[in-house]
Chain A
Amino acid sequence: EAGVVQSPRYKIIEKKQPVAFWCNPISGHNTLYWYRQNLGQGPELLIRYENEEAVDDSQLPKDRFSAERLKGVDSTLKIQPAELGDSAVYLCASSYGDEQFFGPGTRLTVL
Chain B
Amino acid sequence: QKEVEQDPGPLSVPEGAIVSLNCTYSNSAFQYFMWYRQYSRKGPELLMYTYSSGNKEDGRFTAQVDKSSKYISLFIRDSQPSDSATYLCAMKNSSASKIIFGSGTRLSIRP
Contacts and interface: CB of A to CB of B under 8 A. Distances in A.
A25 B98 CA distance: 18
8 nearest A-B pairs in the assembled complex, by CB-CB distance: A42-B101, A102-B43, A45-B98, A41-B103, A42-B88, A102-B44, A103-B43, A104-B43
Nearest to A9: B41
Contacts, number: 44
Interface in B63-102: 88, 90, 95, 98-99, 101-102
A69 interface: no
A93 B45 CA distance: 10
B41 A104 contact: yes
A85 interface: no
8 contacts: A4-B43, A41-B104, A42-B88, A42-B90, A98-B49, A99-B46, A104-B42, A104-B43
A9 B42 CA distance: 10
A43 B88 CA distance: 9
B101 A100 contact: no
Size band of the interface chain B makes with A: 20 to 34
Contact of A99 (B6, B8, B41, B49): B49
A91 B43 contact: yes
Q: How big is the A interface, by class?
A: 10 to 19
Interface in A49-86: 56
Interface in B1-41: 4, 6, 8, 32, 41
Nearest to A31: B96
Contact of A40 (B4, B8, B44, B45): B8
Interface string A20-48: 00000000000000000000111111001
A96 to B, nearest CB: 13
Contacts of B95: 98
Nearest to A105: B43
A58 B32 CA distance: 22
A103 B41 CA distance: 10
Given A98-B49, A98-B95, A99-B49, A42 B102 contact: yes
Contact of A42 (B32, B46, B103): B103
